[in-house]
């Protein structure tokens, strides 16, 4: 198992070639993200959405409702019976 930190995830999300090449090499390994890494990625997305005056597509509207400048949008309708 490989545990990744936020900086590595950001490089992968930005499709940095060296990060993607490394990911291809370790493709058989199980990858884990600590909770704080997931939190940092979410906070970064939120901050960028506010900075760019763009909506954040999420079903987690409750947690983001305290951020007055952030508009949230549910991207599609969830069928709860199939969840």
- Encode pLDDT of 41-67 as tens digits: 878 877 777 778 888 888 888 877 877
Q: How confident is the model at residue 82 (pLDDT cuts 50, 70, 90)?
A: low
Question: Where would I find the H helices in 14-64?
Answer: 17-25, 35-51, 61-64
Within 10 angstroms of residue 49's Cβ, the number of other Cβ atoms is: 20
| Contact present, 70 and 46 (Cβ < 8 Å) | yes
| Residue 40, pLDDT score | 84
| Residue 3, pLDDT score | 92
Q: How confident is the model at residue 17 (pLDDT cuts 50, 70, 90)?
A: very high
Spell out a b/e string for 2-27, using b for 16 or more CB atoms within 10 Å of the CB, else e: eebebebbebeeeeeeebeeebeeee
Burial (CB < 10 A; 0-12, 13-18, 19+), residue 44, is middle
């Amino acid at each position: 198992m490989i545990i990744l930190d936020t900086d590595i995830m950001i490089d992968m999300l930005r499709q940095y070639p060296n990060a993607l090449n490394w990911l291809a090499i370790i493709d058989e390994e199980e990858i884990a993200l600590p909770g704080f890494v997931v939190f940092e990625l979410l906070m970064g997305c939120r901050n960028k959405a506010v900075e760019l005056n763009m909506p954040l597509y999420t079903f987690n509207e409750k947690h983001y409702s305290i951020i007055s400048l952030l508009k949230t949008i549910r991207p599609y309708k969830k069928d709860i019976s199939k969840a």
